[in-house]
Structure 1
Amino acid sequence: MLRRTALACCSALTLALGATACGGDPVSAGGGSKELSGQTLNVAGVWSGAEQKNFQKVLDAFTEKTGAKTQFVSTGDNVSTVVGSKIEGGNAPDVVMVPQVGVLQQFARKNWLTPLSKTAEKSVDTNYAPVWKDYGSVDGKLYGLYFKAAHKSTVWYSPEAFEQAGVKPPATYDEMLKTAQAVSDSGLPAFAVAGEDGWTLTDWFENIYLSQAGPEKYDQLAQHKIKWTDPTVVKALTTLGSLFSDKKLIAGGQKGALSTDFPASVEKVFGPDPEAGMVYEGDFVAGIAKDQFGKKIGEDARFFPFPAVAGGKEPVVSGGDAAVVLKDGKNPKAAMAFLEFLATPEAAAVWAEAGGFLSPNENVDLAAYGDVTLREAAKSLIDAGDSVRFDMSDQAPAAFGGTKGTGEWKLLQDFLRDPSNPAATAAQLEAAAAKAYKS
C-alpha cells in the first residue's frame, strides 16, 4: 500500500524509457536535456556479475537522459577500505553505493560526504517511508539515498519438497520447526544453511530477535544502548540454537553448513541434485534460483514470510545500498544529478524490470517487477512502512558487524558449530561489540 502519493500511473515500459512522468510532464532526472555531456561519472559499489550488469542499465538510462558517461568499479565487500585508499591516492570515485549503515555513518563522520541536494531530499520525502531517510542521515543531515533494498525476511522453499512431505508454508516459528521435521522425515534435510558466510547467520539472529524482543529492543541493541548480554539476546540465541543443534534439520549438519557459502546454499535447494527443502535468506535468492538453475519463480521456487516467533509479529528486516556523493570526487555536479535521478521511480523501474531488485521507493509501479513473487516481496517491504528495521549488523561498526573472520560473523559461526551455551556466546558478542563501538 502506497503511503503519501498514489501508485505511479506510468507503465513499467514508460518509466524504463524515461519518456514522461504521469500526466505527460517531462521526468526530472538531475538536470535532463544532455546538459552533462562531456562529463564522466565514476561510481563504486559492491556489485559484480548479474547485479553489476543490471545496475549498468540504470547507468545507461542516466547517460541517455543527461549525456554523462559512466564508469563502474566493483569494490568487493570491503567498501570502506577500498574507498579510503582511493581517497588517499587522489582517485576518489564520485558516487559510492554503500551497503552498510555503519559504513555510511563512518564516511560522514570522516567528512568524506556531501549532503544531498534539496531536490534529492524532496524526492526522498515524497517517495520513501521516513525510516529510510533516518537510515541515510547522520547528525540531522541526509547523506545517503537508498536505491536498492533487500527483503531479508523471506524463507525460500521447494514446492516439490513440501508436497512430498505433505506440508504447507508455516505461520509461526514453532510451526516452521515442525514443518522442517516433516521435510527431514520425508528423506530430505530441511534447511541449507550458508554458515561459511557469517553474514547469513546474523540475518537468522536478527529476524528472530526482532520478532521475539520487538522493535524497541532491536533499535537499542543495534545502537549498543543495551549489551549483548541482555536476557533478550540470550533468549534469541537459545531459540536459534534449537534449530542449529538439530543435525537432522540441516543439510550436512553443522560441519556441512560451515563449509556452505550462500550461493551453494541456494544450489542445495534449487540445483539439479537437491540436498535440502528450504533456504532462509533475502529476496535475492530468487536471482540465483532463476539465473543459475532455471527455476520459475513462483512455481519451482517460492517463499513464505519469516514466521512470527513466540507470539511476536512477523519481522521485516531489510538491507540496502545507499548512494552517497564523495567530496573528493572530480564531478560533483554529475554526482548529485545522479542521486537526484536515483531518487525517482523511473530509475528504480529500470532495474525492477531487469529482475533481482527491490526498491524502497514507494511510488515504483509494482507492475515494473518482472514476476509475481518479486511483486509480493516489494509490496511486503512497502507495506511494512516504518516498521521495517535495517539489518542490525550493517548498522554496527564494520569491525563488529561486517568483517569476515571476526566480530559477529565469526562468533555466530562458532555458535553454529556448538550452540550449547547461548549465554557464553552472548558474552563473547558483547566483548567484541564493546571493543568495536569504542574504537
Structure 2
Amino acid sequence: MGLSQRSRRLVPLAFLGVAGVALAGCGAPGAPGGGGGDGGGDSNTVTIYGTIVDDEAKLLQQSWKDWAEENDITIKYEGSQDFETQLGTRAQGGNPPDIAIFPQPGLLADFASRDYLKPAPAAVEANAKEYWTEDWVKYGTVGDTFYGAPLMANVKGWIWYSPAKFKEWGVEVPTTLDELNTLTATIQSKTGTAPWCAGFESGTATGWPGTDWIEDYVLRTSGTEVYDNWVAGDVPFTDPAIKGAFDSVGEILLNPSYVNAGFGDVRSINSTAFGDVAPKVASGECALTHQASFLSGFYPEGTNIAEDGDVWAFMLPGKTADETTVTGGGEIVGAFSDSEATQKVLEYLSSPEWANSRVSLGGVTSANNGLDPENAKDPILQETIKILQDPDTTFRFDGSDLMPGAVGAGTFWKGMVDWVNGASTDDVLTQIQTGWPSS
C-alpha cells in the first residue's frame, strides 16, 4: 500500500471541518436520514463507503466475501480519499450509502447530531458492550444514543529501535520517561551522533506526527482527566499542563544533539516523510523513532521485526513503570439505513468473526476482545492487540481526531510545523488555541 493511502486512513484526517461545513450548509438541521440510495432498491444489496482504498480495500472486501455469500447479501464497497466532503454532499442530496466507515468519532457525531444516522441495532450495541471496552463504546455514542461499533484500531506511542544496537551499546529498554531521557543521553554519548529521527511531512497533513508526540506526553504526564478536558476544549493549549508536555517533547525534538539522525538538523523533521524514518532505524543510522504500530509497513522488504530481530518497539513509558495508558486511533461504523440487510452487515462487522477474518489477512488490528492475537502475522500487531485487549489498559483516542477540525487538523498541525521551525512555545500554543470555536 502506498504512503498516501496508509497516512490517509491511519492518521488524523484533514477535512473534518470541511464535512461539518458542508452539512451545515444543507439547510435546517435534522434533515432526514437517507435510505442508502446506491442500493438501487435491491433489499439484499448493502453499500459501504469509507476512506480505505487500493490494496487495503481489496482485503476489506475479501474479509466479508464468504459471509456475504452465505447470507445472500451483496456488499458494494466504495473507498474515497475525498470521503469527508463527498459523504456530506451525498447525505444532503438524499443519496448516502447504507453504511459509512468513519475514521473519526467526531465526524460520526457530526452526522448523528443532524439526524442523518440511524441508531445502531440492539444486536450491534450488545456486541460492542461485550467485545469492546467502555471507552470504545463511548466513541460510538452521541448523547445517550449508540450509533456505531468500532471496526479496526491502532495503538500509537511505539518507540522503534534496533535490538542489536541496544546490545552493542549496553543499554536496555526504559520503563519510565526519566529512563527514556537517560537512554537518549547515553546513546548520544556513546555514539557521538543524534539518537532520534523524526518525520512530520505528510503532504497537506504535514505536522500530524508531532501532534501524536504531544498527545502521548499530555496523557502520560498529566493523566486522563486533563487529557479529556484538553480534548474537549476545557483545558486550553496555553495551560501549564499542555506547555509542560511541549517542553518535555522539546527536550528531544528541539535538541540538535538528539535529532534528526540520518536526515539533517532539527528543521529537517518537517521535510522528512514520516515513513522514511523506518529504513534508517533498520540500518542502524537512527537509534530511536516514535510512531504508531503501522510503521511496520514501511520497513524494507526482508526486515525482521522481532524482539531479537532487526527492529522492535517498546511502548512510550509513563512517569512510573506501572502506567498503562495509551493513545490510538480507529474507525467507527455508522449507518444511514435501517434495512434488514444493513442491520445484518452491521452486526457481522461488530463481531469477533469479522475481526478475526480481517486481521488474518494482514496489516491491521482490532480492539475486539474476541480477536485471537495469533491471527495477526506481524509481531508488533500481535503486541498491539494484546495491549488493546488488556482490561488494565486505559485507551484514549487520538486527541487531534476528537478536537474540532479547525484545531485538530488545522492550527494544531500548523503549530507543530512552526514549533519545529523555531517559533517560541508560547507563541505556538497561543496560535493553536485560536482555532477553537469562540462559542
TM-score bracket for the superposition, by shorter chain length: 0.7 to 0.9
In the other structure, the counterpart of 2:272 is: 260
Matched-pair contact (CA < 8 Å) for 1:211–1:312: no
Residue 201 of structure 1: how far off its partner (Å): 1.1
Deviations 1:73-112 (A, max 9, x none): 2222x53212112323454222111111211111111222
Q: Which residue in 2 is equivalent to 1:236? A: 245
**Residue 327 of structure 2 corresponds to residue 317 of structure 1:** yes
Task: Give, in whole Å, the separation in 1 of the partners of 2:217 and 2:151.
Answer: 26
1:375 and 2:382 aligned:
yes
Counterpart CA distance in 1 for 2:320 and 2:435 is: 28
Q: Is the CA contact (8 Å cut-off) linking 1:214 and 1:312 kept in structure 2?
A: no
1:390 aligns with 2:393: no
Residue 176 of structure 1 aligns with which residue? Answer: 180
Q: In the alignment, which residue of structure 2 is the partner of 1:302?
A: 312
SS in 2 for 1:319: strand
Task: Tell me if structure 2 keeps the 8 A contact 1:103–1:398.
Answer: no
1:13 maps to: none
Q: Retained in 1: the 8 A contact 2:193–2:257?
A: no
- Quick check: 1:161–1:183 contact (8 Å CA) kept in 2? no
Give the 3 Å change call, closer, same or farther, for CA 53–191 of structure 1 in structure 2.
farther
Counterpart residue type for residue 276 of structure 2 = A
TM-score (norm 2): 0.82
- Deviation at 1:115? 0.9
Counterpart contact for 2:46–2:341, Cα < 8 Å: yes
The TM-score, its normalising length taken from structure 1, stands at 0.82
Paired with 1:347 and 1:198, the residues of 2 have a C-alpha distance of: 34
For the 8 Å contact 1:130–1:386, the answer to whether it is kept is no
CA contact (8 A) 1:325 1:332 kept: no
Q: Which residue of 2 aligns with 1:336?
A: 343
1:33-432 to 2 correspondences below 5 Å: 39-76=44-81, 78-184=82-188, 185-186=190-191, 189-196=194-201, 197-251=206-260, 252-270=264-282, 275-289=285-299, 292-298=300-306, 299-309=309-319, 313-327=323-337, 332-384=339-391, 387-402=394-409, 406-418=410-422, 421-432=424-435
Does the C-alpha gap of structure 1 residues 160 and 140 become closer, same or farther in structure 2, counting only changes over 3 Å? same
- Aligned-residue offset at 1:275: 4.0
Look up the match of 2:3: none
Q: Is the Cα–Cα contact under 8 Å of residues 68 and 334 in structure 1 kept in the other structure? A: yes
Could you tell me how far apart the structure 1 residues matched to 2:58 and 2:184 are? 36
Q: C-alpha displacement at 1:306, in angstroms?
A: 0.7
CA distance in 2, matches of 1:71, 1:304: 39
Displacement of 1:303: 0.8
Q: Cα distance 1:114–1:399, how it changes in 2: closer, same or farther (>3 A)?
A: same
Structure 1 stretch 244-253 or stretch 409-418: which is displaced more? 244-253
Deviates further, 142-151 or 163-172:
163-172
Alpha-carbon shift at residue 188 of structure 1 (Å): 5.5
**CA distances 1:40-91 after superposition (whole Å, capped 9, x unpaired):** 3222222234432332222324323322222322222x53212112323454
Contact 2:373–2:385 under 8 Å retained in 1:
yes
- The 2-side partners of 1:53 and 1:164 are apart by 42
**Aligned with 1:202: secondary structure?**
helix
Which ranges of structure 2 fall in alignment gaps of 5 or more residues?
Answer: 1-40
Partner-residue secondary structure (3-state), 2:293: coil
Give unpaired runs (5+ residues) of structure 1.
1-35
**How many matched pairs?**
389
Q: Give 1:170 deviation, angstroms.
A: 1.5
Q: Is this contact kept in 1: 2:116–2:336, CA < 8 A?
A: yes
1-structure distance, mates of 2:322, 2:130: 31
In structure 1, distance between residues paired with 2:326 and 2:286: 24
Deviates more, 1:140-149 or 1:334-343: 334-343
Task: Give the 3-state SS of the residue equivalent to 1:284 in structure 2.
Answer: helix
- Does the CA contact (< 8 Å) of 2:161 and 2:281 recur in 1? yes
Q: Give the equivalent residue in structure 2 for 1:433.
A: 436
Q: Is the 8 A contact 2:324 2:393 kept in 1?
A: no
- Matched residue SS, 2:76: strand
**In structure 2, the residue corresponding to 1:72 is in which secondary structure?**
strand
* Secondary structure at the counterpart of residue 428 of structure 2: helix
CA root-mean-square deviation: 2.4
Distance 2:54 2:303 in 1: 19
Q: State the alpha-carbon separation in 2 of the partners of residues 244 and 169 from structure 1.
A: 20
Deviation at 1:340? 0.4
Letter in 1 for 2:298: I
Where does residue 14 of structure 1 map in the other structure?
A: none
Identity of paired residues, percent? 27
Corresponding residue SS for 1:248 = coil
Displacement of 1:159: 2.1
Deviation of the 1:312 alpha carbon:
8.7
